[in-house]
Amino acid sequence: MSRTHRRATVGRAALVALLVAATLTIGEPAHAASAFIPVADTFVTSADPGTNFGSKVYLKADASPRQVTYLRFDVQGVEPGTSAVLRFYAESSLRAGVEAHQVNDNGWGEATVTYTNAPAVGAAVDASGPISAGTWVSLNVSAMVPDDGPVTIALTTTDDTAVRITSREGTNKPQLFVPAPSSPSPFVVTATSGGYQAVSQTSGQTYAGSLKFVVERAVSDLNETGGGTVQFAAGVFDLGAEYFKLVQITNIAFAGTGVDETVIRNYSSTASDTEPFNFTGAYGVTVRDLTVSAGGPTRSTSDALDFDEGNDVLVERVKVTAARGRGIVFDGKNADWTSTGNTVRDCVVVGVPGDGIELLASSGDTITGCRITDVGGHGIQINKSSPTADQPNKKATRNLVTGNTITQAGQDGINVTSGDDNEITGNTITDSSDDTSGRDGIRITSTDAVSCDGNRVWGNLATDDQTTRTQKYGLNIASTLCHSTVVGPDNVLTGNLVGPIRDVGTGTIYPSASR
């Protein structure tokens, strides 16, 4: 979902398998804050209302049966108006996330409280968003820590799948940071004689090791403090067979020094997806001014930049020179995923075996000013999800594809499959169908009996200037299930193998011009 529809938090779930407690000592400069451990914590459940769970090494929150976690901290040395962040370690995943609530009664006992006598839960002050297993989660609880003394925080969820949280009896104890950790942004990533390092330019926090290690640790620190920048120096940054696994991150920029000056690369032959940039839950993320090269045997779902559940993401001035599958992908097909409001601009994709850019069940996105050359699939594809996806046949809608140049796409230059209200305008498409015969400059079509409605095609040039032409039609409205496609009079669609337009659509609109 869009950031405008998410409640603000200081940080989101950190990276998979990150144990911050093992790498940072409380009070180190990276946080510059006092960290309080609970003096009491427990959970209660409506399924067993008379039982106390205060000695457990885990806590739980659930909607059905209702389970509520309680944490009490004894806070000292607080200045009026200070900020505060609660951090806890999630042992399991949760799609709906958790909410932090005010609790005014601090008199409950860890060894005696049950669902029957638990204190009342007050108003929610913050929400986490989706949580992944094995991650740290941060919540802004500043409103609950006005001064010194006991503070009780309750955690609840609207999800009917319980989340497990490590308790104070476990290794990764909950922590209350007062004041909230200051941002260590930016982290500058450079090569060293033994690998790589990421150095905070504000706190001096330094991580050294593999490229994956240092970048993921830097991202974790930035994520829990509201975002910031990972700045790559000029040069080639080699992940080897590894890749960045980036889960539930918000407002973080990955920036090179120039599209031809910073190169992020990997090479993997494993039978799994190994995208150099692998995002699941990216909100307000930026990737800019660098080249990505993802080498290895062809694998259709292993891309260069993969944004699963990407929202309000910006990819600009990025060049993709190799991928096992597609170049840049935004994917909103899985359960509870949304993908919307993303922008890809002034990018270059060349030589990948799959689509140059794909919007898969993603809506309200913009692709503009990109150059896509010699890809094996479509230059740009706007596509619905499959009938067997978690969200079956979810359409891609309201996307804008404008001002792009696409040459020698292996299949269609631009392909819209069972999408609605997409606008294709001002693009230059030449010499498509380079690898697969019978494809077109622009194709509007349907599949799995799912319609495509209200798409608009304006001001495009779609032609074939080769001696031996391969691009069949400039525009092919290829299905009777494509309704009310608007074809503007200012398209230039001549010079193709068979003809300018093929139209078997229903109710196609040709304003102020005949075909």
Average pLDDT of the chain is: 91
Instruction: Find the largest Cα–Cα distance for the chain.
Output: 85
Lowest mean pLDDT across 197-206, 292-301, 350-359: 197-206
CA 313 to chain CA centroid, nearest Å: 8
DSSP code for 114 = -
Please give the span between the terminal C-alpha atoms of the chain, in angstroms, as a whole number.
40
124 burial class (0-12, 13-18, 19+ CB within 10 angstroms)? middle
Q: How confident is the model at residue 78 (pLDDT cuts 50, 70, 90)?
A: confident
pLDDT tens digits for 29-66? 333 468 899 999 999 999 999 999 999 999 999 999 99
Query: Residue 282 has which token pair?
Result: 């990216």
pLDDT of the residue at 80 = 79
In whole angstroms, what is the distance from residue 430 CA to residue 413 CA?
A: 8
Q: Where are the alpha helices (DSSP H) in 128-260?
A: 211-223
Whether pLDDT at 481 is above 80: yes
Residue 142 dihedral angles phi and psi, to the nearest 5°: -55, -40
pLDDT of the residue at 142 = 92
In whole angstroms, what is the distance from residue 297 CA to residue 267 CA?
A: 9
Model's pTM, two decimal places? 0.77
Whether pLDDT at 14 is above 80: no
Query: Residue 324 has which token pair?
Result: 């096992």
Whether pLDDT at 28 is above 90: no
pLDDT tens digits for 135-163? 788 899 999 998 899 999 999 999 999 99
In the chain, the amino acid numbered 352 is V
pLDDT tens digits for 165-177? 999 999 999 999 9
Percentage of residues of the chain with pLDDT beyond 70 = 93
pLDDT tens digits for 183-208? 889 999 999 998 999 999 988 889 99
